[in-house]
Every structure is written in structure tokens, then in C-alpha cells.
Amino acid sequence: MPEILVAEEHSQVYDLWKRRGLRALALSHIDFHDDMRGLLIDRRRGRAWRIDGGDYRIRDVDSGNFLAHAVLEGVVTSIRWIHDPFGGRRFDIGTVKYESDLTALPHRLVHRLRGGADVPVAFEELTFERWDGPRAGEHLDIDWDGIASVDYDVAHIRRLMAAVLGREFAHPPATTYLVYSPGYSHPDRGLFDEFLVGLTRKLGAAVSTLPPPETGPAAKPAPRRLAEAVERGAVLALRRVGIY
């Protein structure tokens, strides 16, 4: 029987993968955020490597970088990242870098000069309109903020709920993860519970709840000091004009 695993934080999913000893997973990853902080992906070559590994925000596993760690460890080797047009790197900071990013150039040069190691990964970023549902063998990984971001109004959330629940899945996933992400998702838990009921019916799945995280506290929004708020505003302004 298919399974739906419910969690509060995405680091719980990483813990599960490690406990089960899973390798070479393929994901349809629905999320406002990429959760690959600290990773540089060369999409043309299908390779990835870690940058700034000494930074604790990259070194230590949390819900904002768990996929980066999973890729580097060979736990995940294929990701299709799906999000709403109001979502993704354009509206976030501390994200994955692509080979084409202006700020990726020094990291690429250092990596080449050092002969740094990298790992294989198949990666694609797309919006809901282009997503064809889970492919054969893919796990479906849903961060609730990808459907019900704290920045979305309820009408938009319901449209995205319907877009997922009403889509025909040619290849229903054997395993689906549904992660609430408190602080990033709409505070109405009723919407989350309603979606879970609909997803359970759609997939005919058994539902279970994952145990609390083993990897320490997850990243959460925190009150921003003035300097941090200015920095965030500057980064987002650059991203609005295509500079990453």
C-alpha cells in the first residue's frame, strides 16, 4: 500500500532516509524553497558540489539544506523542484546556486583550480503548470509552504490545493512526504488537514507521522535585526532583476 509520511520539519524526512538506508532517490519536490542551501548545481553537466562547507548554516543539517546533504551523500540523485510563480529563488535568500549565476563564478573557479570532487544529480526547476505529476519511481515530497505559503491568501492556496489533488497521476508515488513547516506555512491547520484527507483519498495511502527530528533544531524565521533586514532587501532586489 502507498504511504504518506507526515512531518513538522523537513529534517525529519532526512532522518528517515538515513534510518532506512535509502540511496539514489528521485523526487518531485513541491516547495516554495529549494532546501539546497550551500549547494552549487552545474545543470549542464548534471553535477553538484558543496560551497562554503565551513559555514555552520551549510555544514549542519537543517530543513533549509537537507536536500543539499542528501545529494552530496548520494541519498537523492534526481530532483524536480516545483513551485508557484510567486515562489522559488526569486523570492528567497540562502538558496542553491546554478552554474549560470553571476555569484557562482568564483566558486566554479575555485572548484576547478582545486580539482574539487562533485556528485551526479539530475535537476529541473519548474512551475506547477509545467509539472506532469510524479514520474515512475519518484517519491512525492510536499512542503506545505509550496502550496500554502504564509504569503498566499486562502483563495490562492485553495487553487493550488485543487491543482495538485485534481491532477491525474500517471504514476502514483509509493511514498509521499507532507511537511507542515511552521512559520513558513499558512497558520490555518485546518487547510493542511483538509489537504491531507484529500491526498489520502487520491492515493489510497496509509498515513503515519514521523518522529521528532534527530538532527537538531530546524531553521525557522526569526526576528530580523536592521542590518539583516537591509541585507535581505538588497539580495531580493538583485534577484528581481535576475542577479543571483
Q: What is the pLDDT of residue 230?
A: 77
pTM of the model: 0.91
In tens digits, the chain (244 residues) has pLDDT values of 999 999 999 999 999 999 999 999 999 999 999 999 999 999 999 999 999 767 777 889 999 999 999 999 999 999 999 999 999 999 999 899 999 999 999 999 999 999 889 999 999 999 999 999 999 999 999 999 999 999 999 999 999 999 999 999 999 999 999 999 999 999 999 999 999 999 999 999 999 999 987 655 444 455 556 666 777 888 888 888 888 8
Q: What is the pLDDT of residue 224?
A: 55
Q: What is the pLDDT of residue 105?
A: 93
Domain spans of the chain, in order of start: 3-240
Q: In sequence order, what are the residues at sequence separation of 6 or more whose Cβ sits closer than 8 angstroms to the Cβ of residue 122?
A: 26, 46, 77, 78, 79
Nearest to 123 by CA among 228, 35, 9: 35
Q: What is the pLDDT of residue 219?
A: 46
Q: What is the pLDDT of residue 218?
A: 47
3-class secondary structure per residue, 155-180: HHHHHHHHHHHCCCCCCCCCEEEEEC
Which helix (H) or strand (E) segment is 25 a member of?
A: strand 25-30
Q: What is the pLDDT of residue 170?
A: 97
Are 66 and 14 contacting, i.e. CB atoms less than 8 angstroms apart?
yes
Q: What distance in Å separates the CA atoms of residue 115 and residue 112, rounded to the nearest whole number? A: 5
Residue 143, Cβ density class (10 Å: 0-12 exposed, 13-18 middle, ≥19 buried): buried
Sign of the dihedral through C-alpha 78, 83, 88, 90? positive
Are 50 and 39 contacting, i.e. CB atoms less than 8 angstroms apart?
yes
DSSP track, 41-110: EETTTTEEEESSTTSHHHHS--TTTHHHHHHHTTSEEEEEEEE-SS-SGGG-SS--EETT-GGGHHHHHH
CA angle in degrees (0–180, nearest 5) for 156-36-135: 65
Structure-block grid coordinates of residue 24: 539514489
Question: In the block, which residue shows the cell 544529480?
Answer: 121
Q: In sequence order, what are the residues at sequence separation of 6 or more whose Cβ sits closer than 8 angstroms to the Cβ of residue 156?
A: 84
Nearest to 72 by CA among 117, 110, 34: 117
Q: In sequence order, what are the residues at sequence separation of 6 or more whose Cβ sits closer than 8 angstroms to the Cβ of residue 101?
A: 244
Q: How far apart are the first and last CA of the chain?
A: 42
